Structure 1
Amino acid sequence: MKIILVGSSGIIGQAVDKELRQRHEVITASRTSGDIRIDITDNHSIRDGFSSVGSFDALVSATGSVHFGDFNEMTEDEYQIGIKNKLMGQINLVLIGREFINPNGSFTLTTGILNRDPIRLSSSAAMVNGAIDGFVKATALEMPNNVRINSVSPTVITEAMDKYAPYFRGYKPVPAAEAALAYSKSVEGLQTGQVYEVD
């Protein structure tokens, strides 16, 4: 398969690249590095990236930013960070990607544990993750040409614990390589409308 991997420079993205590259052609993409440049907050950037590749068999998104902050101090602009980036950025990958993906292809998006097991300061992340998971389940019902769509919802990643450990006390982290298996299941399997939880 020809797979576009958006967010390939991140911890999860690198692990997904390593897992899928063993069997498929992986085209890496991020804002600043990779085979192509894609900024998910810019539809022109998404379209230009896809146009440079042409048709593809799968798209994996392992990217997305949100603002973490005290709910009592959060502003609309801070919520809009996650809405514009992680939520609509990934949705726009699908909306524009519909024009380029081959029949029987697949989209795989990334959410996370915080909409089902939130922590302090995570109201924006929880909101965005829940919205993406809902989008995936509903969109799967209407995808044309047997195109599948799933999301992967990992807990905190072991390799990121040096940064996030104070916020995830009591959580059991998982290695990025283990999370990458869920992306492989989404891309190489047959299921659609699934949220693959990696705890």
Structure 2
Amino acid sequence: MTEASARWTRATVFPDMWVDPADDPRETDGPAPEGESATLQDYLTGYRHTLRMKCDGLDAGQLARRSVPPSTMSLLGLVRHLAEVERDWRNWLGEGDPAPKLYGERDADFHGATADPAQVEAAFTDLAREQAATDTALAAYPDLSTRVGKDDIAIRELLVHRIEEYARHCGHADLLRECVDGRVGQ
């Protein structure tokens, strides 16, 4: 890091926001979700949108730009990591052998994130596929207290853990994006 980017935002209504409320895909005019499952899914969806927003408008080089050495964290690495963990959460549902890792050995999701446009496209495709597969697998358990897998974990705990994982990494994405081009906001 040689020079700091100037801080900026696209928002005009609230200058500390990422975008104006009318342009925010996380804002809805409808009623709040009803029930525990719908509420948890709503929070998860919001964090998923946030991650995509933090990556929006960047090229492959910017997405693959690493944070501060020795960290291997990048926005692209986060996308790959979240695809990997979505797959891993499905492993918790069953008793059998786990599905193979998407990107290889531990931390390959971050180590292997390179400034290749085809890799960026593949990472977002992987993420969408793994999110959909995990959503579908968890939807088979409408009772959130159902315990599954060899660890006898409650579906509720898996859902909350997913939200926590996305929330934590959206915080990382805030800092990574600001390092790339100075853009800040919620």
TM-score higher than 0.5: no
Q: Which structure is higher in strand share?
A: 1
Which of 1 and 2 has higher RCO (CA within 8 Å, sep 6+)? 2
Q: Please give the TM-score of this superposition, normalised by the length of structure 2.
A: 0.29
Q: Please give the TM-score of this superposition, normalised by the length of structure 1.
A: 0.27
Q: Which structure is higher in helix share?
A: 2
Structure with the greater alpha carbon radius of gyration: 2
